Structure 1
Amino acid sequence: MIIERFSNWREGFTERLEHDGPWDSWTLYKMSYETEKMNLIPDFSGLQAPKLLTNIQLLPHQVEAAQTVIEKMNGKAILADEVGLGKTIEAGLIMKEYMIRGIVKKVLILVPASLQNQWVTELNVRFFIPAIAYRKNTPIEHYDVMVMSMDTAKKSPHREKIYEQNYDMIIIDEAHKLKNHKTQIYEFVQSLKKKFCLLLTATPIQNDVFEIFYLVSLLKPGHLGNYETFQASFSATKNSIDGEKYLKELVNQVMVRNRRQDTGIEWKTRKVHTIPVRFTEEERRVYDMIGELKTVSSIFSSSFTMVTLLKEMCSSKEATYLTLNKMMQKGISNEEKEYIDMIMDKLANLEVNSKAEKVLEIVKNADDKVIIFTEYRATQAFLQWYLHSQGISSVLFNGKFSKSKRDWVRQLFRERDQVLIATESGGEGINLQFCHHVINYDLPWNPMKLEQRIGRVHRLGQEEDVHIYNLAIENTIEQKILDLLESKIDVFEKVVGDLDDILARKA
C-alpha cells in the first residue's frame, strides 16, 4: 500500500490567496480557540480529561482522587482505594490529564502478568491511550505507553532496556508486591527515574508498619525519615496515640484512599461469619502426632516446616501427605522414618475431613454460587472430588492460567458450575460480582489476602449482600491465626484507616 501526503488543501489555499479570501471559518475558529484556551490554562485547577472520555462513566470519587493527586501531590501518590472502587480508572484519568496538558508522553506500567492484557484494553478502549503489551522482542524505544509484567521487567535484558528510556510516568499495579525492600523488583523500581509515579494497592500495609515506609520511600525518599528514625518514632505506635495521628497525617500527604461507604454509592452489606470446626478424635490424634515431630526429628525443628504441616493438617490429609512424602526423600534415620510412616498410615486411614463436611453444609444451605479459597493445590483437588461425590459441580481456578483460560473458567462458573475452588492466586485479577458467597477454607496469615479474596465479589455491580464464611478448627494453629489477623488489622487501621469487615466482630 502506497501512503501519500494529503495535498488537496493547496488548491483551496491558492484560490483564497488569489481572491484575498475568504479567510474566516467559524468552525475552524472555534476549534482553534478551544485549543489555545486549553494550552493557556495557568494552573491545574480542575480536570480537562473527563469531558473528552466518552467511553467511560467516571464516578465522583474517581475524579476527586485524580484531581487530588495532580493538584496536591504533584503526580506522586499511592492510590489505595478499597478493592473494586476503580484504582485503574483513577490512574488512567491521571495519565490522560497529564497527556492532554503535554506534560506526559512516555509511560511504563508494571503489572502482574495476569493483568497485562486487561490494562491494555482499558487504556485503549476507555481512555483512547494507545498502550501495548510488552512481549519478548518488543522494541520498547518505539512505543510511548508500555504495559509490562513485573516479573519480566526486573530481569535482564529487559531491565537494561528500560533503564535506557526516559519515562515521564511510572505506574505500578498491585504495588503491595514491593513491600520487601530486599527483593529484586523493589530494587529495580527504586532505580527507575520517576518524574511522576503512581502505586496502586488496596492493601498498603499487609503485615507491619514498615511496609508503608518502603512504599512511601519509593515515591518520596525521606518523607518518613530514614529507617532508623522511622523505627524509633513509629515501630511502637500502638502505645502512642499522638504517634499514630502524626504517622497517618504524613502518609495521607502521599496517599488517596476511598472507602466504599464514602463514595455515595449504595453498597450491599458484608455479613462475616466465623465458623468453628471440631476435629474428630482420629483427626486430632494425627494433628497431635504431627506436633510431636519436632521432638523426634531435627528436620522438623524449623518452625516454618512445623507450622506448614500443622496448617496442612487443618486443610486436608492430601496436602499433609504430600509434604511428609517429600520429607521422606531426605536423609533421615530409621527411627524418624518409622515415626513419619506411622503418621502417613494414619493419614491414609482417615475417612472424614471435618472441615470439608462443614463446607458441604454451607454450600447446600447457600443454594447459590459459592467461591472456596484454599492455600493448597492438593486440597483444591480433594475438594473438587469430594463435592462431586455429593452431586455438586465445581470448577478449579489457578492464577497461572492464561487470560483465555481464566475467562473460560469464569464463564463455566457463571453458567454451569455451582462452586469455584480457587487457590490464593485467585484472589487477584478476576471479578465475580454474580456470586455472593465466599468460603475461606484456609485462613492466611495476612488479613489483606482476605480482603483481596472478598473483593472479587464485593465490588461495583454486586446486587446481593455478600456472605463470608471463615473456617477455623478449634484448638489448632488456626485459632492462633485468627488472633494474629485481629492484631494486624489493628495496625492497618491505625496507619491507613478503617477497613471493611473481613473477620466477624467480637461481642
Structure 2
Amino acid sequence: MLIERSSNWKESFTERLEKDDGWDNWTLYNMAYEVAKSTLITDFRGLQSPNYLPNLTPFAHQLEVAETVIERMNGKAILADEVGLGKTIEAGLILKEYMIRGLVKKALILAPASLVNQWIDELNRKFHIPAMQFNKKYDLNHCDIVVMSIDMAKRSPHKERIYEQDFDLVIIDEAHKLKNHRTKNYEFVQHLKKKFCLLLTATPIQNDVFELFYLITLLKPGHLGNYETFQSAFSASKHNVEHEEFLRELVNQVMVRNTREATGIKWPDRHVEIIPIRFSPEERELYDMIAALKEHSDVFSDAFSVITLQREMCSSKEAVFYTLMNMREKCTSAEDLAAVDCLVLKLQALQMNSKAEQALKLIRKANDKVIIFTEYRATQSYLQAYLYEKGITSVLFNGKFSKSKRDWMKHLFQQNAQVLIATESGSEGINLQFCNYVVNYDLPWNPMKLEQRIGRVHRLGQQKDVHIYNLAVEDTIDDHIVELLHTKIGVFEKVVGELDAILTSYKMSI
C-alpha cells in the first residue's frame, strides 16, 4: 500500500493568505483554553473530585478520609469507620480522585454478592463512574471498572482471567472476611496485581488481634514484621497485647477510623441493655441433661458438640432437636441412644420458652418496628409461629434467600410487618433506618457481629434514639459468652480505638 503526503492543506492556506481571512475563531479558542485550564491540576494536595460530583455532598469526615488515604497512605489503606458512616462514599471519592488525576484507569471492586448491585448503583449515580457487573462473556481487557462478588472471583475460570489483569486499584468491601490467612479468599486477594488497595471494614478485629495482623500484611506486607516478630514484639496472644500505644501508632499508618462521636454529626442516642432470662424448672432440667451428655461415649465427648447444644437450648427446643437428631445417627451404643431418646421426649413435652416470652414483652413495649437477631434458622421459624399466635406480624430474613426475596422481605417489613426475624446474614448489606429497636435474641461469640447488627439501624439517616436489648439466660453458657465478649471488646479498644456501646454489665435482675 502506497502512502502519499497530502497537499490539500496548501489550497486552504493560500486562500487565507490572499483574502487575509482570520486564522481561527477567537470564541472557540477561549472556550478550549478555559476547558484545558479547568482540568489542570497544579497542586497534588486537596481533592478535585467534589467539583465533579453535583449529586453528592460528602460529609467532612468522608472528605478527610479521602485526603488522608491519597496524600499520606499512598492509596493503600484500611477504611475502618464505624458502621453507618459511609465507607462506600469514602472509597468512591478516592476512586474518583485517582481517575481524575489519571492514576487509576482500571479498578476491581470485590463485595458480597448481596452488595454488588448497590455498589454499581452508587458508583454510577453518585460518582458518575461507569462501573459494570462482571459477566463471564466480557473481555476484561476492555472493562475498566468492574464490580463482582469475591465468591465468584476466586473460582475458576474467572480467577485465572482476573490474575492476568493489572489493576490500578482494588477495593474490597466487608474485608474482615479475609481475616483467616488460610482461606481461598485471602490467597486470591494476595495474588491480585494491584497498585493501590482499599480494605473496607468497620470491624478489623473480630475475635483476636492476629486478624488485624493478617489484614495489614495483606495490604502492606512486612509493615508489622512477620508473624513471629509481631508475636514477640507485642507479646501478642489471641486476647491480649502489650505495647499497645506503639502498635496503635503502626496501625494508624495504614488505617483510618472515624467514630460517630468524632464526626461532629448529631446522632441519635444508643441505649443498650442486657435482659437476663431465668429458665423455668423444666428448661433447667433439659439444660442440665444436655450438659451431662458429654459423659456418654465419643459422640458427645467433644466439648464443642455439647456447647453447641447448650447454646441452642438457650435459644429454642427446635434448634436443639435438629442438632440432636443429627447426632443420634452417630450413636453406636444402646446407652447413647437411650440418653438421646430420653432428651427428645423431654423436648417434645416442653411447652414454654422463657426467652421467647421476654422477647414478646419487649416487642409489645416497643409498640413499633423491631428487628430480632437469632443464630438459628430453626429458632427463626419457631419465633415467627410463636409471634403469629400472639397477633404479631413478622417476616423472615436469612442467607438462603435470593437477592430479590431479601429486597421483598425488607419491603414487607417496612410497609406491613412489625417484626423482622433475621439470622446473621441480616447484619450485613441491609439498611433499616426506619427501625430503631434491636433484640439480640441469641448472643454471638464475636462482639463485632453485635456491632454489625446494631449498625443496620444506627447509621446515617436514623432519626430516633436506638434501643438494643441483649437477651442472656442466667447460669448457662450465655454467662461465658458475655464474659468473652467483654474480653474481646477490650482487645479491640486497645489496638483499634474506642467502640460505641454494644454490651453492658450483666449485673441486673428481672
Q: Into which bin does the TM-score normalised by the smaller protein fall?
A: over 0.9
Contact 2:331-2:337 within 8 A present in 1 as well:
no
Structure 2 equivalent of residue 178 of structure 1: 178
Asked if structure 1 preserves the Cα contact closer than 8 Å seen for 2:109 and 2:171, the reply is yes
- Cα distance in structure 2, aligned partners of 1:189 and 1:278: 47
Partner amino acid, structure 1, of 2:36: T
Alignment of 1:325-364 (within 5 A): 325-364=325-364
Greater Cα shift, 452-461 or 497-506:
497-506
- Alpha-carbon contact 1:244-1:494 (below 8 Å) kept: yes
SS of residue in 1 equivalent to 2:171:
strand
Q: Match of 2:215?
A: 215
Counting aligned pairs with the same residue, the percent is 64
Provide the C-alpha distance between the structure 1 equivalents of 2:63 and 2:435, rounded to a whole number of angstroms.
Answer: 29
- Give 3-state SS (helix, strand or coil) of 2:347's partner: helix
Task: Provide the residue aligned with 2:406 in structure 1.
Answer: 406
Q: Residues 46, 334 of structure 1: CA spacing in aligned structure 2 closer, same or farther, 3 A cutoff?
A: same
Amino acid across the alignment from 1:295: E
SS in 1 for 2:484: helix
User: Does the residue aligned with 2:276 lie in a helix, a strand or coil?
Assistant: strand
Contact preservation (8 Å) 1:114, 1:400: no
Contact 2:120–2:147 under 8 Å retained in 1: yes
- Name the aligned partner's letter for residue 435 of structure 2: C
Aligned to 1:377: 377
How big is the shift at 1:256?
0.6
SS at match of 1:198: strand
Question: How has the CA–CA distance of structure 1 residues 27 and 277 changed in structure 2, closer, same or farther, with 3 Å as cutoff?
Answer: farther
- 1:264-321, Cα deviation, whole Å (9 max, x unpaired): 1100010001000000001010101100111013111222211111100100000000
Alignment CA distance shift 1:31-1:404 (3 Å): farther
* 1:96–1:129 contact (8 Å) kept in structure 2: yes
Distance across 1 between alignment mates of 2:400 and 2:29: 53
Distance in 1, matches of 2:163 and 2:216, equals 22
The count of aligned residue pairs is: 494
Q: CA shift at 1:411, angstroms? A: 1.1
Contact 2:275 2:470 in 1 (8 A): yes
CA displacement, residues 392-441 of structure 1 (integer Å, 9 cap, x when unaligned): 00000113433322221111111100000000010000000010000000
**Maintained 8 Å contact 1:49/1:96:** yes
Which stretches in structure 2 are left out of the alignment for 5+ residues? 1-11
The aligned residue for residue 7 of structure 2 is none
- Indicate the residue corresponding to 2:30 in structure 1: 29
Matching of residue 303 in structure 1 with residue 303 in structure 2:
yes
Contact 1:276/1:474 (<8 A) preserved:
yes
Task: Give the match for residue 461 of structure 2.
Answer: 461
Seen in structure 2, the aligned counterparts of structure 1 residues 293 and 46 have a Cα distance that, compared at 3 Å, is: same
Conserved in 2, the CA contact under 8 Å of 1:39 and 1:101? no
Write out per-residue CA displacement over residues 442-497 of structure 1, whole angstroms, 9 at most, x where no aligned residue.
00000000000000000011111000000000000011000000000000000000
Alignment of 1:95-494 (within 5 A): 95-236=95-236, 243-494=243-494
Offset of residue 23 of structure 1: 2.5
Q: Which runs of 5 or more residues in structure 1 are unaligned?
A: 1-11
CA distance in 1, matches of 2:389, 2:16: 84
**TM-score between both structures, scaled by the size of structure 1:** 0.94
Contact 2:273 2:468 in 1 (8 A): yes
Conserved in 2, the CA contact under 8 Å of 1:99 and 1:105? yes
- CA change 1:71–1:16 in 2 (3 A) is farther
Aligned pair in 2 of structure 1 residues 371, 281: CA closer, same or farther (>3 Å)?
same
- Corresponding residue number in structure 1 for 2:8: none
| Counterpart Cα distance in 2 of 1:26 and 1:445 | 69
Q: Compare CA radii of gyration and give the structure with the larger one.
A: 2
> Which residue in 1 is equivalent to 2:21?
20
Indicate if the aligned counterparts of 1:205 and 1:492 stay in contact, CA closer than 8 A: yes
- Amino acid aligned to 1:449: K
Compared with structure 1, are the counterparts of its residues 14 and 104 closer, same or farther at alpha carbon in structure 2 (3 Å cutoff)? farther
CA deviation map 1:218-263 (0-9, x unaligned): 111100011101011224488776x100000000000010111111
Distance 1:28 1:256 in 2: 45
Q: Deviations over 1:140-188 (max 9, x none)?
A: 2221111011111111111100001111110000000000000001011
CA distance in 2, matches of 1:478, 1:457: 25
Matched, 1:45 2:45: yes
Instruction: State the 1:328 CA deviation.
Output: 1.5
Q: Secondary structure at the match of 2:275?
A: strand
Task: Give the structure 2 partner of residue 3 of structure 1.
Answer: none
- How big is each residue's C-alpha offset from its partner over 1:351-383, in whole Å with a ceiling of 9 and x where there is no partner? 000000000000000000000000100000000
Root-mean-square deviation over aligned CA pairs: 1.9
SS in 2 for 1:299: coil
Displacement after TM superposition at 1:31 (Å)? 4.7
